[in-house]
Amino acid sequence: MSFFDTTPLGRIMNRFSKDIDIMDNNLTDAMRMYFLTLSMIIAVFILIITYFHYFAVALGPLFLMFLFSAGYYRASAREVKRHESVLRSVVFSRFGEALSGTACIRAYGMQDRFIRDLQDAIDTMDGAYFLTFANQRWLSVRLDAIGNLLVMTTGILVVTSRFNVSPSIAGLVLSYILSIVMIIQFSVRQLAEVENAMNSTERLHYYGTQLEEEAPPHLGEVRPSWPEKGEIVFDNVRMRYREGLPLVLQGIDLHVRGGERIGVVGRTGAGKSSIMSTLFRLVELSSGSITIDGVNIGSIGLHDLRSRLAIIPQDPTLFRGTIRSNLDPFGEHSDLELWTALRQSYLVTEEASLDDKSPGRIHLDGAVEEEGLNYSLGQRQLMALARALVRNSKIIVCDEATSSVDMETDQKIQRTIATGFKGKTLLCIAHRLRTIINYDRICVMDAGRIVELDSPLHLYDKPGGIFRGMCEQSGIKRENFFDGESGEVTVE
């Protein structure tokens, strides 16, 4: 994940569009033309030396001049091309930003600024692009001079040997040496084009071989029934998002018993979501270990781990397809199970029929657009809840899962969580404190550490505690905890 956090999307798009195009199309053409023109030049030189042996003497110093000019040009052309590739990534980034943020840009009336930024990025890229052509013109002048010297040398040899070589041979040699001047220039430019195209190959090779990768999907054997109880043990867990950044989790010690419901609360930046990142190994631990039912999650493959957990994320992600493909992407469950999950998550009413596909109603074959944009954010969160219900995992993670739904729907979801996930281990990052006051224990985070961990009522009775202060700010009183014991959440 650190790669996507630190790499602009435009740079990635540039690698997989322009660089791939250059490697697949331009590079092979440039190599073919280079070897073709090089063979023509060598053949003409052999023809001339066969009839005019002294041409080889003149060819030596002219060849050295040619190598010096070509080497000087290639070095600068290669670096300018690399610079242009970097600047092209900036253009892609600017364009992507403007495209994805069109609504915000228009709302704040910032069209002119973004147009100006994009034009500046294009102008800067064109500056490097212009230097490429200026380099080629610089080379053309010098290669034309060398080519004219070759023609002059051949002409002198033809005139001085007019009595020893037939006029037809002299005419043949002169016609070829005149045509070879342009071919020499073209050959050097094709050689430079090959080197420039290899710059794209180098960039793609770096992406293919030197990027840091996640752990393999499968690593060793895992019990088919794992996890059986859903017991989670955090042992001195320390985590930073990438090298050089400060620790966001600083020695977390937490024992979650199987089937226990834990509410995780804390201020912004306290490290709540970071706990979930370590559990799914989106970020590897700096030190410490996490154990689920006796198995260290760092010793198993990512697919083996993530397929046994369920998450209801804060930003629900849907993929283009149907509701059925989003709830059950691998086709492992029946339609009845999927429909039951939709009912439990309140996306369809109790009276709705599985075969009812009338317009405006949610059904399993309903189309889902890219990122689920044809549904509201609240509906997308309910679908994420339904997906977790379908998976039926022993461990469920809720990351502020009800932040985009109204209070009434929130209460229904909490009842679903209480019944649908009964007997399962539940870790819930709370968006509203009222939703977790009837949980088994509350974990209060602050600055990457657990500062309070106990039952909700005991934490509330602790004077001067962080949880007590958060409850007072939310208007939660002591009697609300007893209302919550029955599964009902009091709304004030």
DSSP string, 367-429: EE-GGGTTS-HHHHHHHHHHHHHHHT-SEEEEESTTTTS-HHHHHHHHHHHHHHTTTSEEEEE
End-to-end CA distance of the chain: 41
Residue 381 lies in a domain: yes
Averaged over 262-267, what is the pLDDT?
87
341 plus 477 within the same structural domain: yes
Is there a single domain that holds both residue 156 and residue 261?
no
Contact assessment for residue 112 and residue 31, using Cβ atoms and an 8 Å cutoff: no
pLDDT grade for 153, boundaries at 50, 70 and 90: confident
pLDDT at 112: 92
Q: 176 and 48 in contact (C-beta within 8 Å)? A: yes
Distance CA(251)–CA(448), nearest Å, equals 8
User: Same structural domain for residues 296 and 435?
Assistant: yes
Mean pLDDT of 443-448: 87
Residues 6+ apart with CB under 8 A from 336: 354
The pLDDT of residue 119 is above 80:
yes
Reported as type and span, the H/E element at residue 448 is: none
Whether 148 is covered by a domain: the verdict is: yes
pLDDT at 401: 66
Structure tokens at 407: 């209070």
**108 CB neighbour count, 10 Å cutoff:** 10
Q: Which is it for strands 295-296 and 309-312: parallel, antiparallel or unpaired? A: unpaired
Task: Kindly state whether residue 84 falls inside one of the protein's structural domains.
Answer: yes
**Distance separating alpha carbons of residues 71 and 275, to the nearest angstrom:** 56
Alpha carbon distance 85, 95 (integer Å): 16
Whether the CA torsion 127, 128, 129, 134 is positive or negative: it is positive
Residue 379 to residues 87, 297, 321, 342, 362: CA-CA distances in angstroms?
41, 32, 16, 11, 10
- Would you place residue 492 in the very low, low, confident or very high pLDDT band (cuts 50, 70, 90)? very low
Mean pLDDT value across residues 88-94? 86
Residue 166 maps to a domain: yes
- Work out the average pLDDT over 345-353: 80
Residue 486 has pLDDT above 50, yes or no: no
- The string of DSSP codes covering 325-348 is HHH-TT--S-HHHHHHHHHHTTSS
Percent of the chain with pLDDT over 90: 6
In total, how many domains does the chain have? 2
Q: Do 249 and 202 belong together in one domain?
A: no
* Cβ contacts of 264 within 8 Å, gap of 6 or more: 272, 275, 427, 428, 429, 430, 442, 443, 445
Domain end marker among 209, 244, 263:
209
3-class secondary structure per residue, 191-260: HHHHHHHHHHHHHHHHHHHCCCCCCCCCCCCCCCCCCCCCCEEEEEEEECCCCCCCCCEEEEEEEECCCC
Looking at the structure, do residues 143 and 243 belong to the same domain, yes or no? Answer: no
The confidence band for 485, taking pLDDT boundaries of 50, 70 and 90, is very low
Domain that holds residue 60: 2-209
Q: In a 10 Å sphere around its CB, with 0-12 CB exposed, 13-18 middle and 19+ buried, how is residue 292 labelled? A: buried
Is residue 192 in a domain?
yes
CATH number at residue 109: 1.20.1560.10
Q: Is residue 218 part of a domain?
A: no
Residue 150: how many other CB atoms lie within 10 Å: 24
Res. 220: pLDDT tops 80 = no
Boundary of a domain, candidates 209, 243, 262: 209
Looking at residue 402, what is its pLDDT? 67
Q: Rounded distance, CA 492 to CA 490, Å?
A: 6
What average pLDDT score do residues 109-134 get?
89
| Measured CA distances, 36 to 144, 151, 174, 188 (Å) | 20, 21, 21, 12
Identify the burial level of 492 via C-beta atoms within 10 angstroms of its C-beta, where 0-12 means exposed, 13-18 middle and 19 or more buried: exposed
Mean confidence (pLDDT) of the chain: 84
- Among the candidates 209, 240, 261, a domain finishes at 209
| pLDDT score of 11 | 82
Cα–Cα distance, 32 to 67 (Å, whole number): 21
State which amino acid sits at residue 206.
Y
pLDDT at 226 over 80: yes
377-435 confidence digits (pLDDT tens): 778 888 888 888 888 888 888 877 666 667 777 777 777 777 778 888 888 887 678 77
Give yes or no: residues 132 and 172 share one domain: yes
pLDDT of residue 417: 78
Q: Do 295 and 387 lie in a common domain? A: yes
SS3 102: helix
> Does residue 149 register a pLDDT over 50?
yes
Residues of the chain above pLDDT 70, percent:
97
Question: Which two three-digit tokens encode residue 165?
Answer: 């070589």
Q: pLDDT tens digits for 365-374?
A: 888 888 888 8
Contact 8, 89 (CB under 8 A): yes
1-51 tens-digit pLDDT: 778 888 888 788 888 888 899 999 989 999 999 999 989 988 988 888 888
Q: In residues, how long is the chain?
A: 492
Shared domain for 195 and 88, answered yes or no, is yes
User: Tokens representing 280?
Assistant: 């799914």
Q: Is residue 89 part of a domain?
A: yes
User: Cis peptide leading into 8, omega within 30 of 0?
Assistant: no
Element counts in the chain: helices (H) and strands (E):
17, 12
The answer to whether position 267 is within a domain reads: yes
Q: Is there a single domain that holds both residue 266 and residue 132?
A: no
CA–CA gap between residue 267 and residue 326 (Å, rounded) = 33
Q: What is the pLDDT of residue 36?
A: 92
Domain CATH number, residue 424: 3.40.50.300
Name residues whose C-beta falls within 8 Å of residue 33's C-beta, 6 or more positions apart in sequence: 186, 190
Q: Is the pLDDT of residue 68 over 80?
A: yes
Whether residues 203 and 289 share a domain: the answer is no
Query: What is the model's pTM?
Result: 0.67
Is residue 245 located within the same domain as residue 123? no
**Whether residue 256 has pLDDT greater than 60:** yes
Residue 483, Cβ neighbours under 10 Å: how many?
15
Same domain, 404 and 303: yes
